[in-house]
Every structure is written in structure tokens, then in C-alpha cells.
Amino acid sequence: MGKKYRTVQFGCGPIGCYIVKFSVGRSNIELVGAVDIAPDKAGKDLGKAAGLDKELGITISDHAEALLKSVKPDIVIHTTGSKFDVVYEQLASIVKSGVNVVSTCEELSFPYVKHSELAVRLDDMAKTHNVTVLATGINPGFLMDAWPLFMTGVCKEVKAIRATRIQDACSRRIPFQQKIGAGLTALEFQKRVDGGSFGHVGMPESISMIAGALGWEIEKISETIEPVITDKVVSSNYITVPAGRAAGIRQLACAYRGGEPVISLEFQAYLGAPESYDSITITGTPNIDVKVPGGIHGDIGTASIVLNAIPRVVEAPAGLHTMKDMPIVVCSSDILS
């Protein structure tokens, strides 16, 4: 008790850099190392790479195992990718080094549908090495799964859940604006969709987490991605989108049970959305509507919940966990290890 959590930042992209900035200001976090295999990052000082105005005296390493062996952190903050199978070997090497992991890997947030075999393997490995693995973030990890689940706690029965996130993308960073297709023609947008690696990753995971927690058998999950075509010119600080082009994205996922749509997730992020908000609608006894006007900023929310989860991950029994079974994650900036 009374010690800081010693962390290694694994992945120094935009979210990793957000987490580094937040970590530096936290009285309960001691950053002791960083990993990134990109040639333009490895070898650099982490402070500079993260856009801080000072060096941190931490050189970004491209060799995770050697670093973990030398600095012996309490936990690795893993922020390298969305696809579980792609980052599996990274996670396995951290676990084999005997270090806990909190990851932003979207597919890892509830991996038992798409990658069940890998999930079981990682869970076994974590138990063998007596460490805990958790993936979290604002979405998946909170807005469209843990939060609606939490609100069902006061319901006698739940028939259907709807979670909606509407964002005016003007306030988000440029990679985010690009990621949602702002400025593309409808045809270019569709090509990206057809290409397969476009859109928000995590809706099937959020649906499966909800269904898993409520004990619901899901027959079918549908998912659609379409452009929000603007009928007037819209601009952010970075991009101007002429009328007739995509201002952003509208993504829907829906799960069916007994032939009825029971879990509906909707994500819209586009330049010029008239109102940003996050909301949940529970149809049941009682019906519950919950809304956060303005919505919760994605990068701040993700960086925060990742850091806030650290005490829970360190305390949890060994294994691969998901947010549905974790003790509630609270702002832990005043919690020491």
C-alpha cells in the first residue's frame, strides 16, 4: 500500500500518447518504460514522442521482453491494435513475462465469439503465469456494454437495450476525422467499407458482452456501415467537406433473440452533427432512459478508463477478464498500490 503503480506503455500511437500524457500527471502512476516497434518511434524519448514539452528519460524500446525483464512493471498498458489475432503474440509475450496487462484492443474486450480459441489460450496462459488481462476503453468497454449493463441492475426485467453515441467529429483529432471517412464520396466510402477494415471496431463484442452478462442466447447479429452524406458544406479545423460527400459515418449493430431485435447499438460520428450525446434506452420494468448531453470525449474517456482500471486489474484473480465481471472501475487517480 502507498506505492505507485509501475507501468510500461506498449504502443505509442495517438491513444498511447494520450495515456502517456495522463500518466505523467498522475500521482499514482510511475511510467518506467515504453515499447513501440515502429522505426520512427523506437529509440526516441517517450516524452518527445508523446508530444510533451519535456523528455521523460524513457527511451522507447523495440524489444518488449527484454524491457519487461529489466524494469519489472506492475502492469503493461497495451495500445497497439484493434484486432485480437493480430496482437495476440504481443499479449502472449507480456503474459509469459509475468506482467499484468490492460489493453485497448477492441476485439479483446469480449473475445469469446470471434476468437474463442485464442481467448481460452490467453486465459490459461494468464492463469499459469499468475497475471491478469483486461481490455477496456470508452467503447467497447463502457458506453455500449458496461454502462447499459450497469443500468439494468435496477430492472426487474429487460426486454431490449439500445445504446446510441452521436458525435460531432469537429472536436476530434484529425486521424479520427479521417477514420470516419469525412470528405469521401459515397463511392469511396463504400470501397472502404468493402475493404473490410473501416468503421468502429467493437460492436459485436459489446453485443456479446451484454448478451453474455444477461444470459441471453443471440441468434443473429447484423451490422451496417453507411456514410452520413452532408447536404451543405461542413468544416472542421482540418477538413472542409462539400455538399454531397460523406461528413462521417453511421454504424448500426443489432442482435436478435426469439426473432426480435433486443440489443441495438448506433454510432454516428460526423462533422456538423447538431447534438453530441451518449444515451441508453432500456425497455423493461421499469423503462429507463439515460443520457449524457454532449457525450463523453472518446480519447479522454479511453485513456482515463485504462488508467482507472489498473488497481482493479492488479488486484483481480489471474486470468483473462472482461468488463462485465470486473468490480466497478472508478477514477483511481488517488489510489496507490
| Residue 300 interacts with its own copies (CB under 8 A): yes or no | yes
Of 113, 185, 297, 314, which one interacts with its own copies (CB under 8 A)? Answer: 297
Eight-class DSSP state of 219: -
Of 95, 102, 119, 305, which one interacts with its own copies (CB under 8 A)? Answer: 305
- The whole-angstrom separation of Cα 256 and Cα 237 is 40
Would you say 78 or 324 has its CB closer to its own copies?
Answer: 324
Q: Which helix (H) or strand (E) holds 266?
A: strand 260-270
Cα 239–chain centre separation: 25
Of 303, 310, 313, 320, which one interacts with its own copies (CB under 8 A)? Answer: 303
Provide, rounded to whole angstroms, the least separation between the CB of residue 187 and its own copies.
37
Contacts 24+ apart (CB under 8 A), 127-131: 127/318, 127/319, 129/95, 129/96, 129/97, 129/98, 129/318, 130/98, 130/318, 131/95, 131/98, 131/99, 131/100, 131/101, 131/318
| Residue 242 interacts with its own copies (CB under 8 A): yes or no | no
Provide, rounded to whole angstroms, the least separation between the CB of residue 26 and its own copies.
8
> Which amino acid, 44?
K
- The footprint of its own copies on residues 158-177 (CB under 8 A) is 158
Of 149, 234, 241, 269, which one interacts with its own copies (CB under 8 A)? Answer: 149
Provide, rounded to whole angstroms, the least separation between the CB of residue 206 and its own copies.
14
- What ranges make up the beta strands (E) of 169-259? 220-229, 234-235, 240-241, 246-257
Question: CB of 29 within 8 A of CB of 307?
Answer: yes
Beta-bridge partners for 226 = 250
Provide, rounded to whole angstroms, the least separation between the CB of residue 136 and its own copies.
9
CA 116, 119, 120: angle at the middle one, nearest 5? 90
| Residue 270 interacts with its own copies (CB under 8 A): yes or no | no
Query: Taking CB under 8 A as the rule, which mask of x and - marks residues 21-50 in contact with its own copies?
Result: -x----------------------------
| Residue 113 interacts with its own copies (CB under 8 A): yes or no | no
Residues that bind its own copies (CB under 8 A): 22, 138, 142, 146-147, 149-150, 152-158, 213-216, 284-286, 288-294, 296-297, 300-301, 303-305, 307-309, 323-336
